[in-house]
Amino acid sequence: MIYRTITHRGRKNERRSFGERDYISLLDAAHQQLRGPIVLVWDNLNTHISVAMRQMIAARDG
């Protein structure tokens, strides 16, 4: 299992959850560590199905 956490400090305009960049970074790190294809099962969270995420997935092999 590969995971990352985010610490929310209650600052103004601070995200409380993962954003697109966080997911992309996590997926890139997992791919490098596993050295193989990754199978993702997404729910319909807006961050998971955003245009940026679709473009990132389409741009990468595997």
Q: What string of DSSP letters covers 23-52?
A: HHHHHHHHHHHHTS---------TTTTSHH
Q: Is the pLDDT of residue 54 over 80?
A: yes
How confident is residue 62, by pLDDT bands cut at 50, 70 and 90? low
Whether residue 43 lies inside any domain: the answer is: yes
Whether residue 12 lies inside any domain: the answer is: no
Whether residue 3 lies inside any domain: the answer is: no
Whether residue 32 lies inside any domain: the answer is: yes
Whether residue 48 lies inside any domain: the answer is: yes
Region 7-16: mean pLDDT is 81
Task: Provide the mean pLDDT of the chain.
Answer: 82
Whether residue 27 lies inside any domain: the answer is: yes
Whether residue 9 lies inside any domain: the answer is: no
How confident is residue 41, by pLDDT bands cut at 50, 70 and 90? confident
Domain count, the chain: 1
| The model's pTM | 0.67
